[in-house]
Amino acid sequence: MTDRADTKVDPDRIRGLLKQKEGRMRTCLQACAGCSLCAESCFLFKEKDNDPQYMPSYKVIQTLGRLYKKRGRVSREDLERMQQLLWRNCVLCGRCYCPFGIDIPNMIAFARGILRTQGIYGVFPHTSGSPEAEFGEAAPAQDGGTPNIGDLQEKSALTSSTGA
Amino acid sequence: MYEFVSGPLLWLSAIVFVAGFVYRTVRLFQLTEKKDVVLCPVTSPKDKPAPSISAEEQKLEKIARFQNSVLGRHPVMVIMSALFHLCLFLPVLFLMAHNVMLHRSFGIRLPSIPDGLADLMTVIVLCGGLFFLARRIAVPKVAAISSGADYGALVLTILPFLTGFLAHHQLLHYKSMLTMHVLTGDLMLIALPFTKVGHMVFFFFFRLTMGGEHSMGRGRRIWST
């Protein structure tokens, strides 16, 4: 899943990063009234049959909100769960709309930055973790080479048609 | 007990409320700064070129735009929310009984709304509270992001209205209900700047002063960090 899956989480580093934008991010987290009106502005939420895990506010509360709540003292498993929310469940298209004017994409980008310092990151658009696990042989090259889109689409269609 | 909650505790609540409100506002200004660039240039309607589509297409575009707006997608939620918030403020500020006390204590005269209207507004607030509570429990997407703080804020908002309604109509022990009304009102004041109810400050600051695509005001401020 990660380059440094066996390495320990560095809570001091996470805390230091959280501190940099603490006033802003805590204010934004507190300003969220939990109205859920941001949900329908996310195309992934609609695409995934209104699964709450794709709701913009859910993604922020369960990642950045959790990091602030635990003051950076999170386990690697916690970070890997966050990885799913921050990369697989969000493409950072910036189209989420908050009636309160909270800049949700900025918060997600900030949380992604924190996870990257712990060796956790998304490696392919709209997925997370190992591309091989998702696309098998059609995975993009590890050296950053461009994947064969045709192969990816074919593979993707194959997995959806077989219900895998 | 009534003397305590409507005397020292009310003073304390008022001080905490004002201080908290000022702190929140000052903090928001500290965290942001005036921007010197236009992030989202807005074309004035006068400068926009004449639309190249027919009147019929323009009408369809307007309908599509409305359907994709928050009001178009969630009409019940938006209308209920607007009514709820309107009815939260008006009876508090313009109820005859509140104004009599204000006049006796400070000599301040505020216009009053008829008791019947205040009653109707209270019922709307109570119905709105039930609606939001049911939504929070039963709708999966809302339940997924609801915490104790959200439920607490909702209950704290409703209680002064419920106890005030019961006291006014003397449906339960009047003196106890009146004491509970003042006590829950005090707690509401104290909690306002520091809990989820604080969105009353954030909403106006974010939407009116912060720059961005959805800014409703001039939007001349940006975050400093």
Cβ–Cβ below 8 Å for B136 and A27: no
pLDDT, tens digit, 9 for 90 and up, residues B94-125: 888 888 888 888 888 888 889 899 999 999 99
**Mean local confidence (pLDDT), A31-37:** 92
pLDDT of residue A129: 54
pLDDT of residue A140: 45
A102 and B CB contact within 8 Å: yes
A26 and B CB contact within 8 Å: no
**Mean local confidence (pLDDT), A108-125:** 86
Kindly state the percentage of chain A with pLDDT values over 70: 70
Full DSSP string of A32-79: -----TTGGG-HHHHHTTT-GGGSHHHHHIIIIIHHHHTTT---HHHH
Kindly state the percentage of chain B with pLDDT values over 90: 44
For residue B51, pLDDT over 90 is answered with no
Q: What is the mean pLDDT of chain B?
A: 87
pLDDT of residue A123: 64
Which of these ranges, A23-37, B29-43, B193-207, has the smallest mean pLDDT? B29-43
Confidence band for B171, pLDDT divided at 50, 70 and 90: confident
For residue A118, pLDDT over 70 is answered with yes
For residue B70, pLDDT over 60 is answered with yes
Confidence band for A142, pLDDT divided at 50, 70 and 90: very low
Confidence band for A150, pLDDT divided at 50, 70 and 90: very low
Whole-structure pTM value: 0.80
A100 and B CB contact within 8 Å: yes
Confidence band for B25, pLDDT divided at 50, 70 and 90: very high
Confidence band for B210, pLDDT divided at 50, 70 and 90: confident
Residue type (1 letter), A92: L
Our CA-based measurement puts residue B106 at a distance from the nearest CA of chain A, in whole angstroms, of: 34
A20 and B CB contact within 8 Å: yes
Confidence band for A132, pLDDT divided at 50, 70 and 90: low
Which of B74, B146, B212 shows the shortest C-beta gap to A34? B146
The larger pLDDT score, comparing residue B141 to residue B8, is at: B141
**Mean local confidence (pLDDT), B35-61:** 73
Q: For an interface test with B, which of A17, A30, A48 has the most B Cβ atoms less than 10 Å from its Cβ? A: A30
Half-sphere exposure at residue B39, Cβ-oriented, CA atoms within 13 angstroms:
14
**Mean local confidence (pLDDT), A153-158:** 43
pLDDT of residue A85: 93
